Amino acid sequence: MSENSTPADQKKITKETTHLIFLPGLHGTDDLYDHLLEHLESEVSFQRTLINYPDDINQSYGKLTAWLSAHLFLDEINPTSVHHKTVIIAESFSTVIALQLAEKFPEKIDGVIISGGFCSSPVPTIFSYIPLRPFFFIKPPLTIIRRYLTGSTCPLDLVKDVRSVMKKVSTKRITQRLRSIFALEEESVPSISSTPIMLLQAEHDEVISWEKQNQLEQHLPHAEAHWLDAPHLIFQVQPSDSATLILEFLEKIK
Is residue 46 a contact partner of residue 19, using CB atoms and an 8 Å limit? yes
C-alpha 196/C-alpha 56 separation (Å) is 33
| pLDDT tens digit sequence for 86-116 | 999 999 999 999 999 999 999 999 999 999 9
β pairing state of 18-23 and 85-91: parallel
* Closest C-alpha to 109, from 61, 185, 49: 49
C-alpha 205/C-alpha 232 separation (Å) is 5
User: CA–CA distance from 121 to each of 22, 86, 95, 134, 187 (Å)?
Assistant: 22, 28, 12, 21, 12
pLDDT value, residue 23? 98
Domain topology for 2-252: Rossmann fold (3.40.50)
In the predicted structure, residue 133 carries a pLDDT above the cut 60: no
- What sign does the CA torsion over 102, 186, 56, 30 have? negative
Mean pLDDT of 44-53: 92
C-alpha 180/C-alpha 14 separation (Å) is 40
Mean pLDDT of 49-75: 93
**Residue 8 — very low, low, confident or very high, per pLDDT cuts 50/70/90?**
very low
Of 184 and 75, the structure prediction assigns the larger pLDDT to 184
- Rounded to 5 degrees, what are φ and ψ at 78? -90, 115
| pLDDT tens digit sequence for 150-208 | 999 999 999 999 999 988 888 888 889 999 999 999 999 999 999 999 999 999 999 99
**Residue 43 — very low, low, confident or very high, per pLDDT cuts 50/70/90?**
confident
pTM of the model: 0.87
pLDDT value, residue 131? 41
In the predicted structure, residue 250 carries a pLDDT above the cut 70: yes
3-state secondary structure 39-61: HHHCCCCCEEEECCCCCCCCCCH
